[in-house]
Structure 1
Amino acid sequence: MPKKDKNVQSTRDVPKPGEGEVICVVKKMLGAEHIIVSCLDGKERTARIPGRMRKKTWIKEGDVVLAAPWDFQPNKADIVYRYMNDEIKKLVEEKVINREIIDQLRG
Structure 2
Amino acid sequence: MPKKDPEAPVREVMKPAEGEVICVVKKMLGAEHIVVLCVDGKQRTARIPGRMRKKTWIKEGDVVLVAPWDFQPDKADIIHKYMHDEIKKLIDEGVIDKEVLDQLRG
Task: Establish whether TM, by shorter chain, passes 0.5.
Answer: yes
Determine the C-alpha separation between the residues in 2 that align with 1:66 and 1:26.
10
Query: Hey, what does 1:46 align to over in structure 2?
Result: 45
Tell me the secondary structure at the aligned position of residue 89 of structure 1.
Answer: helix
User: Which AA in structure 1 matches 2:3?
Assistant: D
User: Which AA in structure 2 matches 1:40?
Assistant: V
Query: Hey, what does 2:79 align to over in structure 1?
Result: 80
* Deviation by residue 1:19-46 (Cα, 9 ceiling, x = unmatched): 1100000000000000000000000000
Determine the C-alpha separation between the residues in 1 that align with 2:4 and 2:84.
18
Query: Hey, what does 1:5 align to over in structure 2?
Result: 3
Kindly tell me the number of residue pairs found equivalent between the two proteins: 105
Query: Hey, what does 1:20 align to over in structure 2?
Result: 19
What's the TM-score, normalizing by structure 1? 0.93
Tell me the secondary structure at the aligned position of residue 20 of structure 1.
Answer: coil
The list of structure 1 runs, each at least 4 consecutive aligned residues, that deviate by more than 6 angstroms after superposition, is none
User: Which AA in structure 2 matches 1:57?
Assistant: T
Gap runs ≥5 in structure 2? none
User: Which AA in structure 2 matches 1:95?
Assistant: G
TM-aligned CA deviation for residue 7 of structure 1: 7.2
Determine the C-alpha separation between the residues in 1 that align with 2:89 and 2:3.
22
Determine the C-alpha separation between the residues in 2 that align with 1:68 and 1:41.
12
TM-aligned CA deviation for residue 5 of structure 1: 1.1
What's the TM-score, normalizing by structure 2? 0.94
Determine the C-alpha separation between the residues in 2 that align with 1:85 and 1:59.
13
Tell me the secondary structure at the aligned position of residue 51 of structure 2.
Answer: coil
* Deviation by residue 1:25-70 (Cα, 9 ceiling, x = unmatched): 0000000000000000000000000000000000000000000000
Gap runs ≥5 in structure 1? none
RMSD: 1.4
